[in-house]
Amino acid sequence: MRGIGRRSPSPHLSRGEGRGEGRRHTPTSAQAAAPHPNPLPTEEWGEGTRWRQPAGVFAMAAAAGFAAIATLALWPITDGARAQQSADPLATLKAKFARPGFVPSPPGNPPTPTKIALGKRIFEDKELSSTGTISCTSCHDPKLAFTDGESLGKGVTGRPLARHTPTLWNVAWSPLLFWDGRASSLEEQIRFPVEHPDEMGSSLENAVDRFSRHDSYVRAFAEAFPQDPRITPANIAKAVAAYERTLVSPPTRFDTWVAGDTAALSASEVNGFRLFAGKGQCINCHSGFAFTDHNFYDIGLPNEDKGRGAEINLRAADYSFKVPTLRELAWTAPYMHDGSVGTLDDVVRIYEMGGIDRPTRAKDLPPVIRLTDDERSDLIAFLMTLSSETPPQPSREAWVHAAEPTTRPPPADTTIVSQANKLFQPHYVRLKSGQALTVLNDDTRTHNVRIYDPRFDYNSGAQEPHDTVTIRFPARGTFEAFCGIHPSMRLTVVVE
């Protein structure tokens, strides 16, 4: 069933980022089985040095930090703070999901109305495909919340693709694109579906030739890119990316509740939110405004697809896939990277059972979750509050077009960075030329340090808890690092 005329009143919904999932799909026996997995019994690259070292080396600094935190914890609470806590005991938790104040965009591709309009036109143009029959909207249909409503979509060849079509809601905040994170930006992403032989089977160079035949396209590119008015692959990518960054999911009843309307959610839905953040531990991965931390996890599904691990050649990331947004999930069924789960009830029950117990299964997930029928019903009721009552349209809130702040705090002068709670701490540091940077995994998770830069291509490999890597930068300048498994972890290093 491809279309959804209205939101289903039941969590048992109909099956309903550019895909570019670079290989052909061959159904496996695991995929052909029932969607509930049965719980089972119980590399180094780059210019760095790595060794295992007890976390106690850093204990004195940590102790000082904890002492300061303890001192603050004992500071007298003001009457105003007590009143606020009494008025809404969930205020601090709700604030974690507040809507942002701007849409991020890269310095080299600032949004303009003419560029966004051009990107939308290209997004809807079937001339992007080799046959002239497939556009971006063929798989990312605005009427279906920018999905296709299918378990596995089809392109120009009609063959099923390897992975499910993800929604495009809120992709502006995603540091890596696709289920396996193969694209580092929306500008880079477009080539994958256009060039994939089973999707569009063409190239951006072919699109240049086709668009150049239309005077209206020639004028549109000149208006959108006055400094470089040519029709080029780069300008096509920039225009589409600018449009895709406007696909911000609209506010729902949940946002009204977060903003202070206590009557916006029922008692069942509020209890579902408590379960989401507490007993269910869903917040460990589905966090923030978009209800995703944009990282990659193995959730224990039976599958032969190694996902992120195959993409970055890292066994610790095998079977890991990007956490999808939960926004508008009532309109984006079926679920999971392979589209194998048709209802929210099934999704919740999979997490309850825990999945396959293998070394790569995410430590952020509890082994099992024991929910009563009422608790499961409340949790699903809450999840439905993240969806619009009618087919959703991109948000028109004023902040969607607000300017991005240009200032940031100064960098920390330190040669030691910690990885904890899926963050680099500090995340902005300054080194003197010749100094080495030491990165300690002070977390319970496996991490990684990755730098893509023409001056320095560095990959630490799997960095286990208490592992330390030392990185020596080859030149002065600013370098951007991230964790290849948890790419929302970002580190900026200025070498002076």
Active site residues: 199
How far apart are alpha carbons 296 and 487 in whole angstroms? 8
3-state secondary structure of 48: coil
N- to C-terminal Cα separation, the chain: 58
Measured over all CA atoms, what is the biggest interatomic distance in the chain, rounded to whole angstroms?
A: 71
DSSP line for 283-330: GGTS-TTTT----EEB-----S--BHHHHHT-GGGTTBEEPPP-TTGG
How far apart are alpha carbons 121 and 221 in whole angstroms? 11
- 28 Cβ neighbours under 8 A, 6+ residues apart: 303, 304
Q: Let me know: does 352 contact 369? Beta carbons within 8 Å.
A: yes
- Which tokens in the block code for residue 50? 């790595």
Identify residue 125 by its one-letter amino acid code.
D
- 104 Cβ neighbours under 8 A, 6+ residues apart: 172, 173, 245, 404
How far apart are alpha carbons 65 and 354 in whole angstroms? 36
3-state secondary structure of 113: helix
- Which tokens in the block code for residue 28? 């496996």
3-state secondary structure of 147: strand
Q: How many CA atoms lie within 13 A of 98 on its CB side?
A: 13
CA 240 to chain CA centroid, nearest Å? 19
On the 0-12 / 13-18 / 19+ scale of CB atoms within 10 A, 396 is exposed
How far apart are alpha carbons 414 and 210 in whole angstroms? 53
Matching residue, tokens 């869903």: 282
- Which tokens in the block code for residue 356? 């396959």
- Which tokens in the block code for residue 200? 């569009």
Q: Let me know: does 173 contact 245? Beta carbons within 8 Å.
A: no
- CA 329 to each of CA 87, 112, 291: distance values in angstroms, whole numbers, following the listed order: 31, 29, 11
3-state secondary structure of 476: coil
Residue 438 pairs in a beta bridge with 416, 470
